[in-house]
Amino acid sequence: MADFMLKSDIEEITQRLAVPAQKLAGKTVLLTGGRGFLGRYFMEIFARLNETVLDQPVKVVALDNLITAGKEGAEIPELENVSFVNHDVIQPFEWDGPLDYVIHAAGIASPYYYRAYPLETLEVAITGTRRMLELADAHGARFTFFSSSEIYGDPDPKHVPMAESYRGNVSCQGPRACYDESKRVGETLCHIFHTMNGTKTNTIRPFNVFGPGMQETDYRVLPNFASRIKAGQPLNVYGTGDQTRTFCYITDAMVGFLLVILKGVPGEAYNIGNPTPEISMVELVERIGKVSSRAVEHNIVEYPDSYPADEPNRRAPDIRKAKLQLEFKPEVGLDAGLKRFLDWSETVYTGEQ
């Protein structure tokens, strides 16, 4: 674990979840995308809950076809009560044992990769979600779908921060459509299974989660910046640099995700993120400059061909629903989270993105 995440972060998460996690004792969880950024956290958290909090272990079966898992996903150590199956979730998965929770986190999440794999991106969120819903339905398991804040598209400013009730503004033909539209259909599938079959579904809409464990070759904004800092190169800010985002540190995000999985009201979608600060990419670079031990410079550049343009101008979550229904409350401020991430990336990244 040392290389891929901070032990102190795993401790923080398991302590914050000690009470709600009791529901997992003796249960079986099927986790898709188990070797991705979030999936590897789930595996470590379940293993640590077994060691510290649960009387009877939670058993985890993790699926991943490793399409974007990178060397980080390939090298993960085996953990007690956690098993791994190399499986493409667009194919049916046979499972005869007990099954209490299905967490569908497989996806092609980085814009760089969904530009390279548009059909695979679409299939994992549509066919993959349907296959996993069928499995959950057959076993009476709770089902959680990892959707995205991208389902809101480029929002009307009067809907920022976005509440779950906002219907979004998404292009069905733009360079990001394979991701945004397929996540929307994935949510529709959850709605159909919930209303037609009574399957206990929840949808999570994460807003830019970051932290140790992000692959250097993931090409999302923070690993991209951290890799260039390590290489002593100026940061490349795409477009105008005025586009805004919020960033949620991994410990807060994982606590929020597990609160949805364990306590979410069936049929409901939840935003999980940190609503403040909403900052532009140029402001993000300035923040990084203050936190980093190195000098940080930047250039404003055109979108490269490898990265889908047509980025949403603003993105910020309204998290009142998760706060009220699940008692979700982010605790790690942006500067503190950036510091933990940048210090970690200094020890792990090579600067050879």
Ligand X SMILES: NC(=O)c1ccc[n+]([C@@H]2O[C@H](COP(=O)([O-])OP(=O)(O)OC[C@H]3O[C@@H](n4cnc5c(N)ncnc54)[C@H](O)[C@@H]3O)[C@@H](O)[C@H]2O)c1
Question: Which positions are catalytic?
Answer: 179
Q: What is the 3-state secondary structure (H, E, C) of 164-219?
A: CCCCCECCCCCCCHHHHHHHHHHHHHHHHHHHHHCCCEEEEEECCEECCCCCHHHC
Cβ atoms of residues 29 and 60 within 8 Å: yes
Nearer to ligand X, 54 or 255 (CB): 255
DSSP secondary structure, 5-46, as one string: S-HHHHHHHHHHTTTGGGGGTT-EEEEESTTSHHHHHHHHHH
Nearer to ligand X, 137 or 252 (CB): 252
CB within 8 A of 94, min separation 6: which ones?
none
* Cβ 19 to ligand X shortest distance, Å: 25
Cβ atoms of residues 351 and 17 within 8 Å: no
Nearer to ligand X, 54 or 217 (CB): 217
* Cβ 40 to ligand X shortest distance, Å: 8
* Cβ 332 to ligand X shortest distance, Å: 15
Cβ atoms of residues 36 and 2 within 8 Å: no
- Is residue 141 classed as helix, strand or coil in its secondary structure? coil
Q: At what angle do helices 221-231 and 334-348 cross, to 10 degrees?
A: 50
| CA–CA distance, 223 with 238 (Å, rounded to integer) | 15
| CA–CA distance, 161 with 122 (Å, rounded to integer) | 27
Residue 232: DSSP 8-state: T
* Cβ 70 to ligand X shortest distance, Å: 8
Binding site for ligand X (CB under 6 A): 32-33, 35-39, 63-69, 73, 88-90, 105-110, 124, 128, 146, 148-149, 206, 208-209
Nearer to ligand X, 57 or 179 (CB): 179
Nearer to ligand X, 27 or 35 (CB): 35
Token pair for 262: 């364990």
* Cβ 30 to ligand X shortest distance, Å: 12
From 41, 15, 57, select the one nearest 103 (Cα to Cα): 41
Q: Which parts of 245-294 fold into alpha helices (H)?
A: 250-263, 281-291
Nearer to ligand X, 57 or 225 (CB): 225
* Cβ 293 to ligand X shortest distance, Å: 25
Nearer to ligand X, 67 or 319 (CB): 67
From 248, 244, 245, 151, select the one nearest 209 (Cα to Cα): 248
Residue 85, φ and ψ in degrees, nearest 5: -125, 125
Residue nearest to ligand X (CB): 36
**What amino acid occupies position 242?**
D
